[in-house]
Amino acid sequence: MEERFHQPQGLPVRRDRGELDRHDKAEDRVQIPDADSIYQTIVEYVMDDLQNDAAFTKKIFRYLVNNGTVSGKELCLALYDQNILAYDENEVRMLEAGGDEYAFQFIRNKISDIAITPAQLALDPCSASAVITDVNTGEVRALVTYPSYDNNKFSGTVDAEYYNKLNNDQSLPLFNNAHRHRRRLDRPSSRSSRWRLLRKA
């Protein structure tokens, strides 16, 4: 009867000397990346990640504007190129012909006319709320928060791109100002400025 021996599971397989030498030579052939290739891999990873980073893009444009690399005229024309403002041939022509002084007046007029909303600027004050109650019963008659968002894009399925845009918006449209008071630590507000009582004549 032939006797057989089985190698117990979990134990290293025994190899002869020649087999070990061949194994060691195979390991020697593994190439370890040098510093340049590691650095290049890290750079490629970071550059690919930054291409979809809206916050980083905004920071770059902030530097470009503050350093004068992007002029006020170019910034205003970009509002038409990105369809933030409805295209107006006359306004575009005047911006192209005028300098930064006209661009400054142009942006002031658009803000004054609310063609560019406070929520888009994300400058204080860029948010507000209104609560109307019945003085006799305390019943809430109206409750409004600004800025707001389109609820239809969260009905049934969630628009991930739209949600990401809202979540990164510095005016915080997802924050319900009518339900909760948001207090900035760097600009503490007095209690007397939180409420404005209106009386119907």
The pLDDT value given to residue 21: 54
Beta bridge partners of 129: 145
Give the three-class secondary structure for 131: strand
pLDDT tens column, 41-52: 999 998 888 888
- Which has more pLDDT, 5 or 119? 119
- Which has more pLDDT, 24 or 53? 53
Give the three-class secondary structure for 132: strand
pLDDT tens column, 88-135: 999 999 998 888 888 889 988 998 888 887 777 767 667 888 888 888
The pLDDT value given to residue 25: 53
Interatomic CA distance for residues 75 and 54, integer angstroms: 17
The pLDDT value given to residue 42: 92
Question: Do the Cβ atoms of 73 and 103 come closer than 8 Å?
Answer: yes
Please identify which residue in the block is written with the tokens 């905004």: 58
**Entry pTM:** 0.48
Interatomic CA distance for residues 149 and 171, integer angstroms: 12
The pLDDT value given to residue 30: 63
Distance of CA 26 to the CA centre of its chain: 49
Strands (E), 99-179: 128-133, 140-146
Helices and strands of the chain, counted as H and E runs: 8, 2
